[in-house]
Amino acid sequence: MTMSEKVQIGDATLFLGDCREVLETLPRADVVITDPVWPNVPAGLLQGHDRPYELLEEAIGAMRLPKRMVIVMRSDSDPRFLTAVTPLMPFFVAQILQYVMPGYIGRKLGGNEIAYGFGEPIASGPGCHLIPGMSPKVQPRGRKANGHPCSRALEHFDWLMRFWSEDGDMVLDPFMGSGTTGVAAIRAGRKFTGIEIEPKYFEIACRRIEDAQRQESLFTSTPKRAEQSAIDFA
Protein backbone atom coordinates (compact mmCIF):
# COMPACT_ATOMS: atom_id res chain seq x y z
CA MET A 1 0.00 0.00 0.00
CA THR A 2 1.36 3.41 -1.02
CA MET A 3 0.35 6.92 -0.06
CA SER A 4 -0.09 9.46 -2.84
CA GLU A 5 -0.45 13.19 -2.36
CA LYS A 6 -3.08 15.01 -4.42
CA VAL A 7 -3.16 18.76 -5.09
CA GLN A 8 -6.05 20.50 -6.86
CA ILE A 9 -5.29 23.82 -8.57
CA GLY A 10 -8.29 25.06 -10.53
CA ASP A 11 -8.76 22.66 -13.46
CA ALA A 12 -5.42 20.95 -12.76
CA THR A 13 -5.20 17.81 -10.60
CA LEU A 14 -1.65 16.89 -9.59
CA PHE A 15 -0.48 13.68 -7.93
CA LEU A 16 2.79 13.01 -6.14
CA GLY A 17 3.33 9.27 -6.48
CA ASP A 18 4.03 6.32 -8.75
CA CYS A 19 2.12 6.82 -12.00
CA ARG A 20 1.52 3.08 -12.35
CA GLU A 21 -0.52 3.13 -9.13
CA VAL A 22 -2.21 6.50 -9.63
CA LEU A 23 -3.27 5.79 -13.23
CA GLU A 24 -5.33 2.78 -12.15
CA THR A 25 -7.58 5.11 -10.14
CA LEU A 26 -8.13 7.79 -12.80
CA PRO A 27 -10.87 8.17 -15.41
CA ARG A 28 -10.02 8.14 -19.11
CA ALA A 29 -8.22 11.25 -20.35
CA ASP A 30 -8.83 12.67 -23.82
CA VAL A 31 -5.15 13.17 -24.65
CA VAL A 32 -1.85 12.02 -23.17
CA ILE A 33 1.07 14.35 -23.94
CA THR A 34 4.28 13.25 -22.27
CA ASP A 35 8.05 13.36 -22.54
CA PRO A 36 8.96 10.07 -20.82
CA VAL A 37 12.13 9.31 -18.93
CA TRP A 38 15.06 8.59 -21.27
CA PRO A 39 18.02 6.24 -20.66
CA ASN A 40 20.54 9.12 -20.57
CA VAL A 41 18.83 11.19 -17.88
CA PRO A 42 20.36 11.60 -14.40
CA ALA A 43 20.04 8.37 -12.42
CA GLY A 44 17.78 9.93 -9.80
CA LEU A 45 14.96 10.30 -12.33
CA LEU A 46 14.87 6.60 -13.17
CA GLN A 47 13.76 5.51 -9.68
CA GLY A 48 15.56 2.18 -10.06
CA HIS A 49 14.55 1.53 -13.70
CA ASP A 50 17.47 0.77 -16.01
CA ARG A 51 15.03 0.13 -18.87
CA PRO A 52 12.84 3.25 -19.10
CA TYR A 53 10.80 1.89 -22.01
CA GLU A 54 9.48 -0.78 -19.62
CA LEU A 55 8.36 1.96 -17.24
CA LEU A 56 6.46 3.60 -20.11
CA GLU A 57 4.92 0.25 -21.06
CA GLU A 58 3.79 -0.35 -17.47
CA ALA A 59 2.31 3.15 -17.24
CA ILE A 60 0.34 2.69 -20.46
CA GLY A 61 -0.87 -0.69 -19.23
CA ALA A 62 -2.17 0.93 -16.03
CA MET A 63 -4.17 3.72 -17.71
CA ARG A 64 -7.51 3.77 -19.46
CA LEU A 65 -6.48 4.38 -23.05
CA PRO A 66 -7.12 7.96 -24.22
CA LYS A 67 -8.41 9.08 -27.61
CA ARG A 68 -4.87 9.96 -28.62
CA MET A 69 -1.38 9.82 -27.16
CA VAL A 70 1.71 11.89 -27.97
CA ILE A 71 5.13 10.53 -27.01
CA VAL A 72 8.06 12.95 -27.37
CA MET A 73 11.47 11.34 -27.85
CA ARG A 74 14.74 11.67 -29.73
CA SER A 75 14.88 10.11 -33.16
CA ASP A 76 17.81 7.98 -32.01
CA SER A 77 16.11 6.76 -28.82
CA ASP A 78 15.51 3.09 -28.11
CA PRO A 79 12.75 1.99 -30.57
CA ARG A 80 11.18 -0.08 -27.82
CA PHE A 81 9.63 3.17 -26.56
CA LEU A 82 7.34 3.03 -29.60
CA THR A 83 6.59 -0.68 -29.34
CA ALA A 84 5.29 0.04 -25.83
CA VAL A 85 2.38 1.89 -27.46
CA THR A 86 1.67 0.38 -30.89
CA PRO A 87 0.14 -2.94 -29.70
CA LEU A 88 -2.63 -0.93 -28.04
CA MET A 89 -3.05 2.18 -30.20
CA PRO A 90 -2.48 2.67 -33.96
CA PHE A 91 0.27 5.05 -35.04
CA PHE A 92 -1.00 7.92 -37.19
CA VAL A 93 1.47 10.80 -37.35
CA ALA A 94 5.02 11.94 -36.65
CA GLN A 95 6.08 15.56 -36.20
CA ILE A 96 9.71 16.64 -36.25
CA LEU A 97 10.53 18.92 -33.32
CA GLN A 98 13.26 21.50 -33.58
CA TYR A 99 16.01 20.89 -31.04
CA VAL A 100 18.43 23.70 -30.17
CA MET A 101 21.32 23.20 -27.80
CA PRO A 102 21.45 26.27 -25.52
CA GLY A 103 24.59 28.32 -26.04
CA TYR A 104 25.58 26.65 -29.30
CA ILE A 105 24.19 28.77 -32.12
CA GLY A 106 24.11 26.87 -35.38
CA ARG A 107 25.46 23.65 -33.94
CA LYS A 108 24.01 20.57 -35.66
CA LEU A 109 22.92 17.56 -33.65
CA GLY A 110 22.99 13.89 -34.55
CA GLY A 111 19.24 13.47 -34.25
CA ASN A 112 15.96 15.33 -33.98
CA GLU A 113 13.22 15.00 -31.43
CA ILE A 114 9.96 13.67 -32.79
CA ALA A 115 6.41 13.70 -31.43
CA TYR A 116 4.83 10.35 -32.29
CA GLY A 117 1.03 10.32 -32.27
CA PHE A 118 -1.19 7.31 -31.59
CA GLY A 119 -4.95 6.79 -31.50
CA GLU A 120 -7.53 9.03 -33.18
CA PRO A 121 -6.31 11.88 -35.42
CA ILE A 122 -7.89 15.27 -34.83
CA ALA A 123 -10.62 15.64 -37.44
CA SER A 124 -9.30 18.89 -38.88
CA GLY A 125 -6.26 21.13 -38.60
CA PRO A 126 -2.55 20.67 -39.18
CA GLY A 127 -2.21 17.92 -36.60
CA CYS A 128 -3.59 15.34 -39.04
CA HIS A 129 -0.80 15.83 -41.62
CA LEU A 130 2.38 13.76 -41.60
CA ILE A 131 5.32 15.91 -40.48
CA PRO A 132 3.53 19.27 -41.00
CA GLY A 133 6.57 21.39 -40.18
CA MET A 134 9.03 22.44 -37.56
CA SER A 135 7.94 23.34 -34.07
CA PRO A 136 9.33 25.97 -31.70
CA LYS A 137 12.59 24.80 -30.11
CA VAL A 138 12.35 22.04 -27.55
CA GLN A 139 15.16 23.02 -25.19
CA PRO A 140 14.78 26.23 -23.13
CA ARG A 141 17.73 28.45 -22.27
CA GLY A 142 19.86 26.64 -19.71
CA ARG A 143 19.84 22.90 -19.19
CA LYS A 144 18.13 23.16 -15.82
CA ALA A 145 15.53 25.78 -16.61
CA ASN A 146 12.55 25.44 -14.24
CA GLY A 147 14.78 23.48 -11.84
CA HIS A 148 14.66 20.24 -13.86
CA PRO A 149 17.66 18.63 -15.62
CA CYS A 150 15.53 17.61 -18.64
CA SER A 151 13.35 20.71 -18.93
CA ARG A 152 11.49 21.64 -22.11
CA ALA A 153 10.60 25.04 -23.56
CA LEU A 154 7.06 26.17 -22.74
CA GLU A 155 6.61 27.53 -26.28
CA HIS A 156 7.21 24.02 -27.58
CA PHE A 157 4.49 22.51 -25.40
CA ASP A 158 2.12 25.38 -26.23
CA TRP A 159 2.62 24.32 -29.85
CA LEU A 160 2.00 20.64 -29.07
CA MET A 161 -1.16 21.54 -27.14
CA ARG A 162 -2.58 23.45 -30.13
CA PHE A 163 -1.77 20.65 -32.57
CA TRP A 164 -2.85 17.65 -30.55
CA SER A 165 -5.71 18.66 -28.24
CA GLU A 166 -9.11 20.29 -28.62
CA ASP A 167 -11.22 22.69 -26.55
CA GLY A 168 -12.47 21.06 -23.37
CA ASP A 169 -10.04 18.12 -23.51
CA MET A 170 -8.60 16.54 -20.39
CA VAL A 171 -4.83 16.30 -20.92
CA LEU A 172 -2.78 13.78 -18.93
CA ASP A 173 0.99 13.68 -18.36
CA PRO A 174 2.06 10.62 -16.31
CA PHE A 175 5.70 11.84 -16.26
CA MET A 176 4.98 15.46 -15.32
CA GLY A 177 8.46 16.58 -14.21
CA SER A 178 8.46 20.32 -13.52
CA GLY A 179 4.97 20.76 -15.02
CA THR A 180 5.54 22.25 -18.47
CA THR A 181 2.74 20.18 -20.05
CA GLY A 182 0.39 21.36 -17.31
CA VAL A 183 1.27 25.03 -17.78
CA ALA A 184 0.64 24.68 -21.53
CA ALA A 185 -2.70 22.98 -20.83
CA ILE A 186 -3.82 25.81 -18.54
CA ARG A 187 -2.76 28.43 -21.11
CA ALA A 188 -4.77 26.61 -23.78
CA GLY A 189 -7.87 26.34 -21.60
CA ARG A 190 -7.61 22.56 -21.16
CA LYS A 191 -8.11 20.52 -18.02
CA PHE A 192 -4.99 18.77 -16.78
CA THR A 193 -3.94 15.77 -14.72
CA GLY A 194 -0.25 15.31 -13.93
CA ILE A 195 1.72 12.69 -11.99
CA GLU A 196 5.27 13.02 -10.69
CA ILE A 197 7.19 10.66 -8.39
CA GLU A 198 10.01 13.03 -7.33
CA PRO A 199 8.88 15.45 -4.55
CA LYS A 200 11.30 18.22 -5.57
CA TYR A 201 9.97 18.41 -9.13
CA PHE A 202 6.38 17.96 -7.93
CA GLU A 203 6.71 21.11 -5.80
CA ILE A 204 8.11 23.02 -8.77
CA ALA A 205 5.22 21.81 -10.94
CA CYS A 206 2.65 22.87 -8.34
CA ARG A 207 4.14 26.35 -8.12
CA ARG A 208 4.36 26.82 -11.90
CA ILE A 209 0.83 25.57 -12.55
CA GLU A 210 -0.59 27.70 -9.74
CA ASP A 211 1.16 30.74 -11.27
CA ALA A 212 -0.25 29.87 -14.71
CA GLN A 213 -3.74 29.44 -13.26
CA ARG A 214 -3.46 32.80 -11.52
CA GLN A 215 -2.39 34.55 -14.73
CA GLU A 216 -5.23 33.00 -16.73
CA SER A 217 -7.71 33.93 -14.01
CA LEU A 218 -6.81 37.61 -14.31
CA PHE A 219 -9.00 37.54 -17.41
CA THR A 220 -11.79 35.46 -15.83
CA SER A 221 -12.21 35.10 -12.07
CA THR A 222 -10.13 34.61 -8.94
CA PRO A 223 -8.58 31.08 -8.87
CA LYS A 224 -9.41 28.65 -6.09
CA ARG A 225 -6.72 28.17 -3.49
CA ALA A 226 -4.76 24.95 -4.01
CA GLU A 227 -6.27 22.04 -2.07
CA GLN A 228 -4.03 19.25 -0.82
CA SER A 229 -4.94 15.75 0.33
CA ALA A 230 -3.49 12.27 0.66
CA ILE A 231 -4.79 9.12 -1.03
CA ASP A 232 -4.33 5.49 0.01
CA PHE A 233 -3.64 2.94 -2.74
CA ALA A 234 -4.34 -0.56 -1.45
Q: Does domain 2-233 have CATH number 3.40.50.150?
A: yes
**What distances in angstroms separate CA 13 from CA 5, 88, 174, 190, one per listed residue?**
11, 26, 12, 12
CB 204 within 8 A of CB 174: no
Q: What is the pLDDT of residue 110?
A: 47
CB 183 within 8 A of CB 212: yes
Per-residue pLDDT reduced to its tens digit, 70-127: 988 876 677 777 777 878 888 777 777 665 544 444 444 445 677 788 888 776 554 4
What's the average model confidence in pLDDT over 42-69? 76
With 80 as the cut, is the pLDDT of residue 131 above it? no
Overall pTM surpassing 0.85 (yes/no): no
Q: Which residues of 173-203 are buried (b: 16+ CB within 10 A; e: fewer)?
A: bbbbbbbbbbbbbbbbebbbbbbbbbeebbb
